[in-house]
């Protein structure tokens, strides 16, 4: 009935309806956190797809829904092109349209596959949940991966987000889809389906609330962390007359006296404007300012074999560089230009200059230090990839992210980046500390709760005791195993139902 009504409308109206549904779903993401929209929109999509006859129409529905969702979720992607609007401003709308349209293809394929494999009914809905989960997982890796805006991240506004400690973000996304599709699976007993859906959601949220109310103790060593946020906006950060201003601001925050002296001071990504090889005097000054009992973690660019590396360095309490970590997952079109050789060959060398010339690193993410607990290093958007935090064999005591979120603007990007950091903390059961150039810098406990923060577009610092880590979560030990088992059981249920149906016939 629903299908017949929408199919009777004009083509542009149908497209707009699904675009609008995707847009509404995007409100589940930060900074809005309206998680409840999922439980209205997803069943609606399921009801429409359940008995749809045409797989090409299913593809279009998936694409327009995804286009609305990603178009609003990643609207911040225009911000880097507006730093120098006269040079790159013209690219901004094309970047948003192409990125949102490209990501929407993953959703379109999931709808297409589910419609193609089955004729109609509840098996199709289960397969839609499986294919949607698969293509969401695929976009985390293909073309270097971009899992930003994953459906599960929109659940941060309610307690069931704690389920990522067991099944991870992809597993929770699969659970979300299956639970929201229960009313569709139960047709014609829709009311019973909604009752089951609401009961499961209630139970998951009760479990999440119980888990997130646990008390976290300070670490046994009583480690005090000082997080610095200079608020160096991207249009001013590299200006000759402003470099010293931002450096001095960070130095002043580092030397500020407080009740307890910090054991470690954290500066953000590319906190120093000079290359590492030219920064001996500055590093000595930073170490002296921090004091003889404090280490300093900061971001800096270094050169190696004529290639730039976006690095995190650890300066120990003696003022020596005791560890270096080079960013491993670089931002395409930002830190390097994909297919640069091909662009040269076809006469588009000018485009290469729009991106950086950075080289990825290959050092261990786990950094050991004498006076602070060992930590896992993440630079910028490496925090959006769950696999980089899943160091199963050598579990750290905490996670450190240095980032320059000035690139993300001041609307949704920085809030979404913080949200994903909080989810990494829950997945791993580890405290997560982030120093962001323009915000939002934060101390996050192993349950994803923000204990201390510096607001967006503010300069300052905070001192906070590093929370203790908790016992390893199932996800930190087994990774995507639970996701594989859950999807495997759903597939078995589909095959069993199809076999039963064919036997009756």
Count CB-CB contacts under 10 A for residue 360.
14
Span of 60-69, 81-90, 150-159, 254-263 with lowest mean pLDDT: 81-90
Separation between Cα atoms, residue 15 and residue 71, nearest integer Å: 14
Average pLDDT for 214-222: 75
The residue with tokens 């390893």 is 472
Give burial (CB, 10 Å; 0-12/13-18/19+) of 210: exposed
Question: Prior bond to 277 cis, omega within 30?
Answer: no
Span of 21-35, 139-153, 323-337, 424-438 with lowest mean pLDDT: 323-337
Q: What is the pLDDT of residue 345?
A: 52
User: 122-138 and 92-117 helices cross at what angle (nearest 10)?
Assistant: 140
For the cut 80, the answer to whether the pLDDT of residue 347 exceeds it is no
For the cut 90, the answer to whether the pLDDT of residue 239 exceeds it is no
For the cut 50, the answer to whether the pLDDT of residue 144 exceeds it is yes
Give burial (CB, 10 Å; 0-12/13-18/19+) of 377: buried
Separation between Cα atoms, residue 95 and residue 78, nearest integer Å: 7
For the cut 50, the answer to whether the pLDDT of residue 353 exceeds it is no
CA proximity to 296, closest of 378, 389, 395, 372? 372
Whole-angstrom Cα Rg for the chain: 24
Task: Provide the percentage of residues in the chain whose pLDDT is more than 70.
Answer: 91
| 15, two tokens | 């497209």
Confidence band for 342, pLDDT divided at 50, 70 and 90 = low
Please list, residue by residue across 27-51, b when 16 or more beta carbons sit within 10 angstroms of its beta carbon and e when fewer do: bbbbeebebebbbebbbbbbbbbbb
pTM of the model: 0.92
Confidence band for 85, pLDDT divided at 50, 70 and 90 = confident
- Domain ranges within the chain, ordered by starting residue: 2-214+480-504, 224-331+360-469
Dump pLDDT digits (tens) for 416-471. 999 999 999 999 999 999 999 998 999 999 999 999 999 999 999 999 999 999 99
Q: What is the pLDDT of residue 426?
A: 96
| 28, two tokens | 């589940």
Spatial neighbors of 180 by CB under 8 A, at least 6 apart, are 38, 39, 42, 43, 46, 197
Confidence band for 10, pLDDT divided at 50, 70 and 90 = low
Average pLDDT for 388-416: 88
User: How, if at all, do strands 321-326 and 264-266 pair?
Assistant: unpaired
Q: What is the pLDDT of residue 348?
A: 47
Task: Provide the percentage of residues in the chain whose pLDDT is more than 90.
Answer: 59
Beta-strand ranges (E) seen in 230-367 are 264-266, 295-304, 307-315, 321-326, 366-367
For the cut 60, the answer to whether the pLDDT of residue 498 exceeds it is yes
Do 146 and 22 touch, CB atoms closer than 8 A? no
Average pLDDT for 299-311: 88
Dump pLDDT digits (tens) for 176-214. 999 999 999 988 899 999 999 999 999 999 999 999 888
Confidence band for 8, pLDDT divided at 50, 70 and 90 = low
Average pLDDT for 36-62: 92
Beta-strand ranges (E) seen in 102-229 are 224-229
The residue with tokens 């996304």 is 173
**CATH number given to 224-331+360-469:** 3.60.110.10
Confidence band for 392, pLDDT divided at 50, 70 and 90 = low
For the cut 70, the answer to whether the pLDDT of residue 380 exceeds it is yes
* Summary mean pLDDT of the chain: 88
Separation between Cα atoms, residue 272 and residue 75, nearest integer Å: 29
Confidence band for 352, pLDDT divided at 50, 70 and 90 = very low
Q: Is 481 left (phi over 0), alpha (psi -120 to 50) or beta?
A: alpha
Span of 5-9, 72-76, 236-240, 491-495 with lowest mean pLDDT: 5-9
For the cut 50, the answer to whether the pLDDT of residue 355 exceeds it is yes
Maximum Cα–Cα distance across the chain: 82
Separation between Cα atoms, residue 230 and residue 272, nearest integer Å: 11
312 phi/psi in degrees, rounded to 5: -115, 130
Average pLDDT for 57-77: 95
Average pLDDT for 295-309: 89
Coil vs helix vs strand at 289: helix
């Amino acid at each position: 009935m629903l299908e017949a009504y929408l199919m009777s409308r004009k083509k542009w109206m149908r497209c707009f309806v699904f675009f609008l549904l995707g847009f509404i779903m995007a409100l589940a993401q930060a900074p809005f956190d309206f998680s409840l929209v999922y439980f209205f929109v997803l069943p609606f999509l399921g009801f429409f797809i359940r008995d749809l006859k045409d797989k090409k129409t299913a593809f279009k529905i998936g694409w327009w829904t995804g286009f609305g969702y990603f178009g609003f979720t990643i609207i911040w992607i225009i911000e880097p092109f507006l730093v120098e609007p006269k040079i790159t401003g013209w690219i901004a709308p094309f970047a948003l349209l192409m990125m949102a349209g490209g990501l929407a293809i993953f959703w379109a394929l999931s709808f297409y596959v589910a419609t193609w494999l089955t004729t109609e009914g509840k098996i199709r809905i289960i397969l839609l949940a499986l294919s949607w989960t698969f293509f969401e997982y695929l976009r985390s890796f293909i073309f270097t991966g971009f899992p930003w805006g994953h459906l599960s991240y929109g659940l941060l506004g309610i307690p069931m987000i704690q389920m990522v400690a067991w099944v991870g973000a992809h597993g929770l996304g699969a659970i979300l889809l299956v639970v929201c599709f229960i009313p569709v699976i139960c047709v014609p007993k829709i009311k019973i389906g909604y009752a089951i859906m609401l009961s499961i959601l209630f139970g998951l949220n009760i479990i999440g609330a119980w888990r997130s109310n646990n008390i976290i103790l300070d670490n046994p060593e009583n480690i005090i962390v000082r997080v610095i946020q200079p608020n160096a906006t991207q249009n001013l950060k590299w200006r000759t007359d402003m470099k010293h201003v931002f450096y001095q601001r960070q130095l002043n925050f580092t030397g500020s006296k407080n009740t307890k002296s910090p054991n470690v001071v954290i500066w953000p990504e590319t906190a120093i404007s000079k290359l590492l090889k030219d920064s001996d005097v500055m590093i000595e000054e930073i170490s002296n300012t921090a004091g003889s009992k404090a280490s300093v973690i900061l971001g800096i660019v270094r050169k190696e074999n004529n290639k730039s590396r976006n690095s995190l360095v650890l300066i120990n309490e003696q003022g020596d560089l005791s560890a270096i970590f080079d960013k491993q997952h670089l931002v395409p079109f930002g830190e390097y230009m994909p297919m640069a050789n091909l662009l040269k060959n076809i006469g588009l060398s000018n485009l290469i200059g729009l991106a950086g010339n950075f080289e990825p690193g290959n050092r261990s993410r786990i950094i050991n230090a004498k006076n602070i607990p060992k930590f896992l290093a993440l630079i910028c958007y490496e925090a959006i990839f769950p696999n980089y935090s899943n160091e199963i064999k050598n579990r750290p005591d905490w996670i450190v992210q240095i980032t320059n979120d000035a690139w993300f603007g001041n609307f949704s990007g920085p809030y979404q980046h913080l949200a994903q950091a909080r989810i990494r903390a829950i997945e791993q059961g580890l405290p997560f500390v982030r120093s962001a150039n323009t915000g939002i810098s934060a101390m996050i406990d192993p349950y994803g709760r923000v204990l201390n923060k510096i607001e967006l577009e503010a300069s300052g610092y905070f001192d906070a005791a590093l929370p203790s880590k908790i016992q390893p979560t199932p996800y930190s030990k087994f990774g995507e195993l639970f996701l594989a088992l859950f999807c495997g059981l759903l597939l078995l249920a589909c095959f069993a139902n199809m076999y039963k149906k064919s036997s009756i016939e």
